[in-house]
Each structure stands twice: as C-alpha cells, then as structure tokens.
Amino acid sequence: MKLRLALTLSLLPTPNLLADTFERDQALKLPDIVISANRQVEARNDSSAANTVFTRDDIDRLQPASVTDLLSRVPGVQVAPLGGRGSLPGIYIRGTKSAQSLVLVDGQRIGNATSGDSNLQRLNINQIERVEVLRGSRSVIYGADAVGGVIQIFTRRGNTQGLQPRLHVGVGSHQTWERSLGLSGGDEQTRFNLGASLDDSAGANRTHESYASDRDDDANRNRSFSLSLSHAVSDDLEIGLNLLDNRGKSEYDNPFGRFDPSTFESLPQQPYSEFAVSSFSTYVDGRINDTWKSRLELGHSENREKTFDKLSDVREVFNTYRDSATWQNDVTLDERNSLIVGGDWYQDRVNSSTPFDEDSRWNRAAFIQHRFQAETFSTELGLRRDQNQQFGGQNSWSGTLTVPINPDNDLLLTYSESFRAPTFNDLYYPDFSNPDLKPETAKSYELQWRSQLSDSARLETSLYRTDLEDAIIFGRHSRPQNVASARINGFEMAYLQDVFGWQGNLALAIIDPRDRDSGHTLARRARRTLSLDLDRQFDRLGLGATWQAVSGSYDDEDNSNALGGYALLGLRGSWALTREVKLEMKVDNLLGKGYSRALYSHDGAQYGYQEEGRAWLFGVTWTPEF
C-alpha cells in the first residue's frame, strides 16, 4: 500500500533515487516523491519542507473542478475567490497573501509581474499531471516570493510505451461542458504527451444587484493545450521541453461601477476579460559522473489580459512576459555530504495600455545548499544571494536539523529567511506607486514531527512562527509604503489512515495571523480549517466524499466586516464499465450552502461575493487500448 511505499522510499539514499533514464518522468507518477523542494528527485520523507503531493491518480479520484479546488485540501492553505468558477482567487499559504507565495509550472514562474496574482484559476485541471505544495519559506532555492510556500504544477506526461489515447466529456450544472483529448506514448528513448481541453460554463451571478447590469450570470470559457517531449540521448543525457497554454474569456461583475471623470458619477458595467497564461521550458539534464549531476533549464512565460466593457468602449491591456534560465548542479561529495550549487536569472517585461514608469527589470542569483547525513541526525544549510535591477541585493539563509527518534519518527527543526520583491504595480504604476520600496522580509521558525504510526497510518504535524517586516501597504494618497509588520503562529496536521478499505485523508490547520501594530487579525484568514476525504474502491465501483469546514474571518484589516464560517459536503463516484470506459459523477456543496469568502461595499452596505451553490457534473472517460 502507499504508506508502506513511503516508508521504503524514505530509507533510500536521495542522490541515487530513481537514477534511470526519464528519472523525473517516472518520479512524477509516484505519490511519495517530491521534486520541488530542492529541484531534484527525493523521497518526501527526506525533504526538509512540509509538503503535500497530488498525483494524476489523486486528481482522477478526487475529481476537483480546478487547481484551487485541489489546493483547499492542503493543510495551511486557504482559497478565497471573488465568487464562483473562474474568478480571481486569493491564495493564503500559512497566513501569507497570494503575492507572498511562488507558483511554478514545470519550473517556470507564472505569476503576474504587475499584480503578483498567480492566475491559478486559468489552468485546466485536465492538462495537469501533478501538483506539489511546499508550506514554508523556500527562498534559498527559489529567491523572491517564496515566503509562505511554493506551488508547482507539472503538465501531463506519457507513462507507457506505444500509444495511449484518451478522451473525456463532461456535462454539469450551470450549462457546464468539459471536453478534453490527449495522446501519449513513446519508446525506450523518447516519450511524449499531447493534450487539449475546452471547458465552458454559463456560470452564476457573483454579486448583489448593485446595477441592473449585474443580474447576468458570469460565464467563462477556457481552452488549454499542453505538450511534453523528452528524449534520452544516452543513459546519462536527457533533453526535453514542456509547454502549457491556457486562454479564454471570463465575465465578471463590477459592483463599484465605472467612474466617469466628466460627470463624477459611477456608471454600470458589463465587464469581461480575454486572457492567456502560458509557459514554455526546455532543458538538458546530464549525469557528468557518478557523483555529479547537472541540469540547465531555459524558459519563457506570459500573462496576457485584455479587459472590455459591453456597455462602453473601455479597453485595457495588461501583458507581462518573463524569460528565465536556471543551472543547477547536484554533487555527492561522499556518503554523508552532498551539495546543491546553481544560479538563476530572469527578466520581466510589461506591455500595458497604462504607461508604467519602468517596463522591465532583471534578477540574477547564485545559491548553495549543503546536506550532511549521519546515523543519528542530519543537517541542511543553504545560502542564496539575489541581485535585482531595481532594489539591489538580498541574502536568504536557511537551516534544518533532522533527528530520527526511531525508524518511524522524525523531528525537524528549521529556521529560514525569505523576501518578496515589490511588483511593477507597487513600484511603477502611474500616480499610485513608490519606486523607493524595499522588499518585504520574513523570518520563519518551524518544528515538524513525522510519524509512521502503523503500516496503514501516517501523521505529519508542523508548529511554526513567521515574522514579516517591511510589509507593503497603501498609505496616505494611496501610495504603497514599507510600514507594516505581522506575526503568524500556526499548527498543521496531515493524517492518512486506511480503515476497512477506506482511504482517509485529514488536513487540519489552526493559525493566528496578526498585524503587530494594531493586533488585528489579517484580512480573509480563517483561524481554523479542516478538510476530510474518504475514498474506497469496490472492484469497478469507486465511492468518495469530501467534508470541508472553515471558521469565520474578517474581510478588512480593521476587523469591522466579519465573514461567516461555512461547511461544505461533496460526494463522488466512478464506475468502470470496461477496461477502457469509466463513468464519473460528483455533487459539490451537496447541502446547497450559501457562503462568501470575500466582501464588497455598495451604497454603504456590505455584500458578499456569491459562491456557487449545489453543483453536479457527469463525465465519461475513454482510454482505448492498442
């Protein structure tokens, strides 16, 4: 079973783990491996980072509607979209805001350089092979923005020789349609995966009727294309590329209206956006000798958005582009000592209908991390130096001490430093920016306990504290300033248990995120969250249920506007008609709970962005065999 595999893999030496051709492709299929923590394949239990992994098998079993739906199952991660599918989500990892967490696709940053938003709502779940979530700072490896954690998405990969086509069609509430097809395959030297998806939904109304134009449902359409290709030149050299492209149209409500400077009035709108989020990477991965592996990655990502208004000729463009390069070397010095040494470079560019004072900047960095493994303890010590064109240099440190109490229990003590780079909006947006901003900085302390309680039960807990300094907020005259500080204390627990054939996954988080000056709770952070998944396979029949509970929070920094807590129940099932055809059915928010995860004001009254009520989806997946 999976938990036994986790224990077995945790005893393997990390540098030699899965040391075969297509090493990463094979690792992406395994639940007890993590790649994102150190940009190398290692057992989850060997990683110093608190982590959660979802494989393609997990995605198929859980049937999430989106990446953000999947993330809500991770302890310490909260998702607060502005109403319904396709809306902009706030992602809070360990109480930090969206811009303080790093989002990667196949190693490439995809966050918007102007706003810092991740745009995870744009990614199609059918084109994703794997999702890894690291909770806690990883700035030594990734540099800026990895304060709260790292989310990495891996695109679909081929897993068999020969050809394997697949076709999925789904239909659901709110006139939702899902259509995807793919083809994967290969031989001993070359593997590939090609996929495309088209999702449509009439959506639901997200806001109170501030204007008559707000009565409409907010539809969205998402077209997605992915390609992965890898080729083994020899036993020690692999080259490849990965591509993910998502584009479409999303409608939304603007309850505040459009300000008309000629009349000083607020006019109704029917806004929508046309978007494109894409990433491309190519790599060379080689084993120089028995002790030295080297990997070079080159990448390009784009975040493009045009906004329109059906009731006016308003049109705005915000496009950001990023080129990047990473060179990492993994060196085994001896049986006890290993090194990670490398360098990063990336450049951001902005092309916008709003003229920014500056429209490009570069960042370059060098990093080193040493790991020592003894019989009674192990250590990990890292240092990174970033040099940024705008704000100069920044150092990041981290250190972890791991003490195995016995073969089934480990204690980990970690100290880490991290920072967030100001966005283009913070630095250069006309009349509402501050070019003298410094990076936000953070210091984190964490104690982890990992326990293999039995062959069928595993417990992972974390107790942590994060101190944020020079946090950027908007001060007088709406200009951002480095004036805020925050303290976040938290506890997380992930518990896996097999009971009478039922696979249970429990995620619990308790946090206390406070502004250190006012003592108020940080906005839109619930103090308690709980998620429980139960699944069982009965021969061809699969059954599952999800229960999520979120406590109340505040929508504003003054803690004057309260958001109520909520609990959601979802059911799912699948039936394998044949080896090639599978039926899937799920119902989300079975009890039709009405709830909001963010507020807005209109005419002095407070309203909530409305989340979808009860929603169902029925799907058919066909994987013909050749």
- Ranked by mean pLDDT, the top range of 2-11, 201-210, 260-269 is 201-210
Give the span between the Cα atoms of 56 and 64, in whole angstroms: 11
Q: Are 47 and 37 in contact (CB under 8 A)?
A: yes
Q: What is the pLDDT of residue 91?
A: 92
Degrees, nearest 5: CA angle 466-406-504: 65
Q: What is the pLDDT of residue 399?
A: 97
Q: What is the pLDDT of residue 264?
A: 66
Q: What is the pLDDT of residue 160?
A: 66
- Tell me the three state secondary structure of residue 24: helix
Q: What is the DSSP letter of 17?
A: T
- Confidence grade of residue 339 (pLDDT, cut at 50, 70, 90): very high
> Regarding predicted confidence, which is higher, 224 or 391?
224
Q: What is the pLDDT of residue 362?
A: 96
Mean pLDDT of 163-190: 94
Q: What is the DSSP letter of 612?
A: P
Mean pLDDT of 268-278: 89
Per-residue pLDDT of 545-594, as tens digits, reads 999 999 999 998 899 999 999 999 999 999 999 999 999 999 999 999 98
Per-residue pLDDT of 196-212, as tens digits, reads 999 999 988 878 766 66
Sign of CA dihedral 88, 89, 91, 92: positive
Give the span between the Cα atoms of 93 and 62, in whole angstroms: 21
- What six digits make up the tokens of 448? 């982890």
- What six digits make up the tokens of 141? 């490896």
Q: What is the pLDDT of residue 32?
A: 93
Give the span between the Cα atoms of 156 and 26, in whole angstroms: 12
Q: Are 149 and 103 in contact (CB under 8 A)?
A: no
The type of residue at 2 is K
Does residue 258 have a pLDDT over 50? yes
Give the span between the Cα atoms of 51 and 37, in whole angstroms: 8
Give the span between the Cα atoms of 598 and 566, in whole angstroms: 13
Question: What is the number of other CB atoms lying within 10 angstroms of the CB of residue 289?
Answer: 9
- Tell me the three state secondary structure of residue 29: coil
- Tell me the three state secondary structure of residue 215: helix
Q: Are 459 and 450 in contact (CB under 8 A)?
A: yes
Give the span between the Cα atoms of 412 and 445, in whole angstroms: 11
Write down the pTM of the prediction. Answer: 0.93
Does residue 458 have a pLDDT over 80? yes
Q: Are 300 and 326 in contact (CB under 8 A)?
A: no
Q: What is the pLDDT of residue 465?
A: 98
The DSSP string of 552-581 is -EESSTTS-SEE--EEEEEEEEEEESSSSE
Mean pLDDT of 451-466: 96
Q: Are 468 and 441 in contact (CB under 8 A)?
A: yes
- Confidence grade of residue 4 (pLDDT, cut at 50, 70, 90): very low
Q: What is the pLDDT of residue 46?
A: 92
- Confidence grade of residue 12 (pLDDT, cut at 50, 70, 90): very low
Q: What is the pLDDT of residue 492?
A: 98
- Spatial CA neighbour of 52 closest among 68, 38, 31: 31
Q: What is the pLDDT of residue 257?
A: 74
User: Of all residues in the chain, what percent carry a pLDDT higher than 90?
Assistant: 73
Does residue 15 have a pLDDT over 60? no
Does residue 529 have a pLDDT over 60? yes
Q: What is the pLDDT of residue 24?
A: 84
Enumerate helices (H) and strands (E) in the chain, giving the number of each: 6, 37
What are the backbone dihedrals phi and psi of residue 98, each rounded to the nearest 5 degrees, phi first?
A: -55, -45
Q: What is the pLDDT of residue 8?
A: 39
The DSSP string of 389-425 is TTTEEEEEEEEEEEEEEETTEEEEEEEEEEEEPPPHH
Does residue 10 have a pLDDT over 70? no
- Spatial CA neighbour of 346 closest among 113, 39, 101, 36: 113
Q: Are 98 and 267 in contact (CB under 8 A)?
A: no
Q: What is the pLDDT of residue 292?
A: 96
- Confidence grade of residue 598 (pLDDT, cut at 50, 70, 90): confident
Q: What is the pLDDT of residue 338?
A: 97
Per-residue pLDDT of 109-155, as tens digits, reads 998 888 888 888 889 999 999 999 999 999 999 999 999 999 999 99
Per the rule left: phi > 0, alpha: psi between -120 and 50, beta: everything else, 26 is alpha
Sequence-separated (6 or more) residues with CB below 8 Å from residue 343: 326, 327, 364, 365, 366, 367
User: In Å, how far from its chain's centre is CA 347?
Assistant: 22
Give the span between the Cα atoms of 143 and 138, in whole angstroms: 7
Does residue 20 have a pLDDT over 60? no
Q: What is the pLDDT of residue 392?
A: 86
CA-derived radius of gyration, the chain: 24
Give the span between the Cα atoms of 544 and 64, in whole angstroms: 12
- In this structure, of 84-93, 313-322, 492-501, 576-585, the range with the lowest mean pLDDT score is 84-93
Q: Are 454 and 477 in contact (CB under 8 A)?
A: no
Give the span between the Cα atoms of 79 and 94, in whole angstroms: 11
> Regarding predicted confidence, which is higher, 44 or 603?
44
Q: Distances in Å between the alpha carbon of 260 and those of 263, 273, 311, 312? A: 6, 20, 13, 11
Residue recorded with tokens 């992965």? 228
Q: What's the chain's average pLDDT? A: 90
Does residue 273 have a pLDDT over 50? yes
Does residue 11 have a pLDDT over 80? no
- Tell me the three state secondary structure of residue 171: strand
Q: What is the pLDDT of residue 84?
A: 66
Give the span between the Cα atoms of 87 and 447, in whole angstroms: 35
- Confidence grade of residue 268 (pLDDT, cut at 50, 70, 90): confident
User: Of all residues in the chain, what percent carry a pLDDT higher than 70?
Assistant: 94
Give the span between the Cα atoms of 222 and 250, in whole angstroms: 8
Q: What is the pLDDT of residue 19?
A: 43
- What six digits make up the tokens of 576? 């394998």
Structural domains of the chain in order of their starting residue, each with its CATH number: 2-622 (2.40.170.20)
Q: What is the pLDDT of residue 13?
A: 38
